[in-house]
Amino acid sequence: MEKETCPIEIKDLFKQYDKKGPVVMHGISIKICKGEIVGYLGPNGSGKTTTIKMITNMIKPTSGKVLVNGIDAQKYPKKAMKHVGALIEVPGVYDYLTPRELLTYFAKVYSMPKKEIDLRIIEVMSEVKLSAVIDKKIGSFSTGMQRRLMIAKAILHDPDILILDEPVIGLDPKGIKEVRDLIKKQAAKGKTVFLSSHLLSEVSETCDRVIFLNDGKIKEDDTVENINIKATNNTIDVSLLTSVTEKMIQHIGSLQGVTSVTKDNRGVIIYYDGEPQTSHVLLNTLIKTGYKVYSFKPADGGLEDFYLSIMGDEKGVN
């Protein structure tokens, strides 16, 4: 039986903007299967937008391949992008148009049947809760409204794949929930969604799987469920009666089995290897050192804790 092609497949993707400059992407490989909602997380400059722009053929990789529905996106961009809807940035060049005019233009670009265009525009404007402003100038829209309009543009031609860069930026909590529900609705139809975001809680609520990127390298790739388990098993919440100093954080961070330490309002959160023996040794060491520990327990964990544990103090380069 022939193996089903994944809608998005990235193979050994490298990117270096000039021969003497830093390597931005270090040979990353990703597979995203049909119907998945995959979050792409990392600090500013980690390479998230660079990856997305290479998938959508806005920039060329130095080496490696991007396959969209099995089609090489660099060799056959028009064919590969035919079934992709993308939100990468909110341009300001459409300020003088109305949503109806903008979407009509892109419907023609997508070669949609003329008799379907008007009805489809009304449908997508309703889905993003912008029906009331369908004939208003886009220049008068708030950032959040522009974001929702660009999501309408991305789903206009009913694509199989959605690639969304920061889809909820600028939205209020109600707008965020509406976009989350819209994304889940698209996935329920069998569509594949690849999105980047800085809102860890929203990624946790929306995505099935998360890929962590830093410095152009993949640090982790797992389901949200598994990451929550890992975060709980690898995190200790330590409450102290004394103030936490930088020297204290450095000392705890140097102990065997500890991957990183962060300060919180009651003490510190220790990220460690998850071994019971390490936890036992840590508690004894903290007490013997003279730290006034009044609580020592695994934290609730979650995406944010896991993100901090694997990223530490690392910074993105481009």
Is 257 part of a structural domain of the chain? yes
> Stretch 60-75: mean pLDDT, rounded?
93
Average pLDDT value for residue range 90-119: 89
Which residue from 192, 308, 286 is spatially nearest to 239, judged by alpha carbons? 286
The residue behind tokens 């964990």 is 301
Cα end-to-end span (Å), the chain: 42
Q: What pLDDT, on a 0 to 100 scale, did the predictor assign at position 316?
A: 38
Q: What is the DSSP-derived secondary structure letter of residue 166? A: S
Helix (H) or strand (E) holding 297: strand 293-298
Is residue 80 situated within a structural domain? Answer: yes
Under 8 Å between Cβ of 181 and 129? no
- The answer for residues whose C-beta is within 8 angstroms of residue 310's C-beta and 6 or more apart is 212, 214, 219, 220, 259
**How many helical (H) and strand (E) elements, i.e. helices and strands, does the chain have?**
11, 14
Q: In CATH, what number is assigned to the domain containing residue 147?
A: 3.40.50.300
Look at residue 163 in the predicted model and tell me its pLDDT: 96
**End of a domain among 222, 247, 268?**
222
Q: Is the pLDDT of residue 299 over 60?
A: yes
Q: How would residue 22 be classed by pLDDT, with cut points 50, 70 and 90?
A: confident
- Position 92 scores a pLDDT of 61
Confidence at residue 93, expressed as pLDDT on a 0 to 100 scale: 62
Tell me, yes or no, whether 318 lies in a domain.
no
Predicted confidence (pLDDT) at residue 314 exceeds the cutoff of 70: no
Q: Are residues 109 and 248 in the same domain?
A: no
- pLDDT over 60 at 196, yes or no: yes
Task: Note the pLDDT of residue 281.
Answer: 92
Provide the residue range defining the domain that includes 267. 234-311
Instruction: Read off the CATH number of the domain in which 295 is found.
Output: 3.30.70.100
| pLDDT at residue number 103 | 97
209 and 283 housed in the same domain: no
- Domain edge (last residue) among 187, 222, 257: 222
Q: Render 17-84 in DSSP notation, one character per residue.
A: SSTTS-EEEEEEEEEE-TT-EEEEE--TTSSHHHHHHHHTTSS--SEEEEEETTEETTTSHHHHHTTE
Per-residue pLDDT for 313 more than 70? Answer: no
* Domain assignment of residue 3, yes or no: no
How far is residue 227 from each of residues 35, 156, 224, measured CA to CA in Å?
Answer: 20, 34, 5
pLDDT tens digits, 153-173:
999 999 999 999 999 888 888
Same domain, 207 and 245: no
Strand-by-strand arrangement of the 23-32 sheet = 23-32, 8-16, 63-68, 71-72
Query: Is pLDDT of 75 > 50?
Result: yes
| Confidence band, pLDDT 50/70/90 cuts, at residue 300 | low
144 shares its domain with 188: yes
Residue after which a domain boundary falls, among 172, 195, 222: 222
Q: What is the mean pLDDT of residues 132-150?
A: 92
Q: Which of 198, 163, 172 minimizes the C-alpha distance to 68?
A: 163
In this prediction, residues 225-249 reach a mean pLDDT of 85
Contact call for residues 218 and 211 (beta carbons, < 8 A): yes
**What is the SS3 assignment for 15?**
strand
Q: Is the pLDDT of residue 275 over 70?
A: yes
Token code pair at residue 57: 């053929």
Asked if 212 and 275 sit in the same domain, the reply is no
Residues 49, 160 share a domain: yes
112: enclosing H helix or E strand: none
> What pLDDT is attached to residue 184?
93
Q: Please tell me the predicted confidence (pLDDT) of residue 202.
A: 86
